[in-house]
Amino acid sequence: SNEVVVLDCWAAWCGPCRMLTPIIEQLAKERSDVVFGKLNVDHNRQIPMKYGIMSIPTLLYFKNGQL
């Protein structure tokens, strides 16, 4: 399997994150072969720390479970 996942790391207070949202939503419609997800960094603090995320928005791209 060549599963591809794109994880959008965002927060409600982040203006650039809100600007990126419609683009990600359009990509999700166009690319049924890619799984798109959203991660609110304010509600899930361990994952940004795990991947060294220092600013948002950040997109994490995984293929076959590998970053």
- For domain 4-63, give the CATH number: 3.40.30.10
* Res 52 pLDDT > 90: yes
User: CB pairs under 8 A, 24+ apart, for 46-51?
Assistant: 47/9, 48/9
Domain residue ranges in the chain: 4-63
* Res 28 pLDDT > 70: yes
* Res 46 pLDDT > 80: yes
Confidence of residue 9 (pLDDT cuts 50, 70, 90): very high
Query: Half-sphere exposure of 44 toward its Cβ, with a 13 Å CA cutoff?
Result: 14
List 14, 24, 28, 34, catalytic entry:
14
List 7, 9, 17, 39, catalytic entry:
17
* Res 54 pLDDT > 90: yes
Q: What is the mean pLDDT of residues 26-52?
A: 96
Task: Establish whether 9 is a catalytic residue.
Answer: no
pLDDT of residue 1: 60
Check if the beta carbon of residue 43 is closer than 8 Å to that of residue 13. Answer: no
CA torsion angle for 54, 40, 44, 60 (degrees, to 10)?
Answer: -50
Report the candidate in 32, 30, 13, 34 with the shortest Cα–Cα distance to residue 59: 34
